[in-house]
Structure 1
Amino acid sequence: MTLSTIKVTDTNLVSTTTAESLRLRDILKSLPREVFAKNRQKAWTTVVINVLMVGLGYWGLAIAPWYLTPLLWIFTGTALTGFFVIGHDCGHRSFANRRWVNDLVGHIFMLPLIYPFHSWRILHNYHHAHTNKLEEDNAWQPFQPEFYDSMPKAGQWGYRLMRGRFWWLASIIHWSMMHFDWTKFQGKERQKVKLSALVVLGFASVAFPLLIATTGVWGFVKFWLLPWLVYHFWMSTFTLVHHTAPEIPFTPATQWNEAQAQLFGTVHCDYPRWVEFLCHDINVHIPHHISTAIPSYNLRLAHSAIKEKWGDSIRETRFSWSLMKQITDECHLYDSEDYYKSFNEYHAGSKN
């Protein structure tokens, strides 16, 4: 890891030079055709490697001395994040050509995470359709000051935690509050979401008692809960960094530009190589927002093409504590002029 940011560009400059003329289809035409090609061998090799890595993690947890357990929790939880990324490709139909294969594999790989596949798929695709659009995007949208002020004190306290040093818990809140209530979905989508929710709840109702019966409560904590929390740490971190920086605006619908939001409002972040390997390059994220049809194993090739054409304008950074400190210190509430206002700035201004 490093404490330096690789590149930050001026959003206002990008806005004035590209917003009116740039279209998403123009960006798509600039990418090599091969980045959209599904490769069955690569896809299933990814599956095999990921299963082996998760198996290795659990094997280590079963036999390793106690002092290695924290490292194995980190390894296993990160490998389980790779399970989610496979389900992620399935949700975008970029894993296989047949829809039923995507749905089946997506359900299987999200099962250990107790994550309903269809609810996540639908909500996540909505995020792609409304990336960084104010009052529409469902991923890390900053609260507007008026809404924040209208919240009860407990709600404000919780929001401050999730936007601050406890950002790593936000994915759990999102998972529990948005993905199990099928009544929030309409038509055929409701039945699919209901199916996914019942599948994972049924799995949990069998797997958890069996795990506790065979390994005890500590076994449940050791083999499932702690790796699951590591997975949510990465989910919270990845999704926060993907579209959050002091220079990246959330834009009202009347001003929103699809191409600009996807190309310049998405962040490429370099993580340690072992994280990139276990999580299938999901943080090579700009091409994924240009087209969700690009499989994870083609993201780096697509990014190279994007960087060759827009390298001076795209955002690239490196995962570090200083990066997370900047985001969690500054990116709190929506501000129409400066994009973000910190809690300290907002409360100081309220007193004046």
Structure 2
Amino acid sequence: MTGVLTKPEASKSPKLDDDVRIKDILKTLPRDVFEKRPIKAWTTVFIDIALAAIGYLGLAIAPWYLLPVLWVFQGTVLTGWFVLGHDAGHRSFSNRKWVNDLVGHVMFLPLIYPFHGWRIQHNYHHKHTNKLEVDNAWDPYRPEAYQNLSALERGIYTAVRGRFWWVGSIGHWLVQHFNWNNFSGKQREQVRFSALFVIVAACIGFPLLISTTGIWGFVKFWLMPWMVYHFWMSTFTLVHHTLPEIQFQPAETWNEAQAQLCGTVHCSYPTWVEVLCHDINVHLPHHISSAIPWYNLRRAHRALKEHWGSYTIEREFSWSLMKQITDRCHLYDPNQCYRSFSEVRDR
């Protein structure tokens, strides 16, 4: 089933027929893209550990003028660690739940990221992708809601929707994943365990790092790679679902197939980023089914392009792309997808 592409309105993404469902798209994917390959998965874990060890060694012995390059390398490697934990969170790393939980906690540990808190919230994002006021990833405010914010809240929102987008994931990390009181039942216990796991690790690791290498060692070995990770995480997650033509839909008009296929951006990054970050930006198939392991995403993407290419949205990463997004994609507008802050202020 391919449906009929309707001509989009000005500045809006293509629209699927209303009768197209996720199951129709899934039927066009090869069955083997869902197969887990343990040797591939574990080999990648060990390679990533080796790359991180090389990065830390480099930071320890390199002259000061090479540190920025090594920070970018190490932060990108640790983003790859996060992607492996990301697969574990979707249960696409292993068939065994305890293995997924173990890998997720270990891969997230250097970033002091609570695994279960992230896993539960991220799966919620997949269930409600681009659903206005429900999705928890870069959900835009309506103009009236923005104007009713306090001055501090408005300032923070304006910054992370503008030129300071690259710190947006820090707020998401801090606010959403450590408060287990936002959860209930078994989920609450899981989130508490993950939060306390990284808190205890930080309480032991940070003083040890500072006592042996000083404050500068803390900055050099942890803080700067961590900031690079958040640059990538903020950038990736913003671009995954945000362009001037991609609209967040209210719950009453939201359509799952439309949101997952036409509301997801395939963005190409430099090859070294794609390799170190394990194809996390081959994002369309991941939203059609989060059960697809990272190493099968490109094959699944080719199948989606073959059967649904008229509906897919692709971009190449550039500073002009980020300028386009951060200049325009600020506040929800039902007619033109987004309105900028300046448009709202001028009215």
**Which of the five TM-score ranges fits, normalised by the shorter chain?**
over 0.9
Indicate the residue corresponding to 1:204 in structure 2.
202
Q: Deviations over 1:186-206 (max 9, x none)?
A: 111000000000000010011
Deviation, structure 1 residue 52: 1.3
Deviation, structure 1 residue 10: 4.0
Indicate the residue corresponding to 2:279 in structure 1.
281
Q: What is the identity percentage for the equivalent residue pairs of Structure 1 and Structure 2?
A: 64
Indicate the residue corresponding to 2:289 in structure 1.
291
Q: How does 1:158-173 map to 2 (within 5 A)?
A: 158-173=156-171
Matched, 1:232 2:258: no
Q: Residue type of the partner of 2:113? A: Y
Does the Cα contact within 8 Å between 2:13 and 2:246 map onto a contact in 1? no
Q: Distance in 2 between matches of 1:312 and 1:26?
A: 16
Structure 1: gaps spanning 5 or more residues: 1-8
Matched, 1:328 2:302: no
Q: Distance in 2 between matches of 1:331 and 1:218?
A: 37
Q: 2:110 aligns with which of 105, 109, 112?
A: 112
Q: Which runs of 4+ in 1 moved over 3 A?
A: 9-13
Indicate the residue corresponding to 1:71 in structure 2.
69
**SS of the residue 2:92 aligns to:** coil
Q: How does 1:12-91 map to 2 (within 5 A)?
A: 14-15=14-15, 18-91=16-89
Q: Deviations over 1:228-265 (max 9, x none)?
A: 00000000000000000011010011111101100010
Q: Residue type of the partner of 1:140? A: W
Which deviates more from structure 2 when the two are superposed, residues 48-57 or residues 317-326? 48-57
Does the Cα contact within 8 Å between 1:133 and 1:250 map onto a contact in 2? yes
Indicate the residue corresponding to 1:244 in structure 2.
242
Deviation, structure 1 residue 103: 0.2
What is the count of residue pairs matched by the alignment?
339
Does the Cα contact within 8 Å between 2:59 and 2:67 map onto a contact in 1? yes
Q: Distance in 1 between matches of 2:135 and 2:153?
A: 20
Deviation, structure 1 residue 331: 0.2
Q: 2:172 aligns with which of 171, 174, 188?
A: 174
Deviation, structure 1 residue 19: 3.4
Q: Deviations over 1:252-279 (max 9, x none)?
A: 1111110110001000000010000110
Q: Residue type of the partner of 1:251? A: Q
In the superposition, the TM-score normalised over structure 1's length comes to 0.95
RMSD: 1.0
Deviation, structure 1 residue 13: 7.0
Q: Residue type of the partner of 1:33? A: R
Deviation, structure 1 residue 158: 1.1
Indicate the residue corresponding to 2:133 in structure 1.
135
Indicate the residue corresponding to 2:3 in structure 1.
none
Does the Cα contact within 8 Å between 2:13 and 2:262 map onto a contact in 1? no
In the superposition, the TM-score normalised over structure 2's length comes to 0.96
**SS of the residue 1:14 aligns to:** coil
**SS of the residue 1:86 aligns to:** helix
Q: 2:266 aligns with which of 262, 265, 268?
A: 268
Does the Cα contact within 8 Å between 2:82 and 2:107 map onto a contact in 1? yes
Q: Distance in 2 between matches of 1:154 and 1:123?
A: 25
Which deviates more from structure 2 when the two are superposed, residues 85-94 or residues 308-317? 308-317
Does the Cα contact within 8 Å between 2:13 and 2:245 map onto a contact in 1? no
Instruction: Sort the Cα spacing of 1:13 and 1:176 in 2 relative to 1 into closer, same or farther, 3 A.
Output: closer
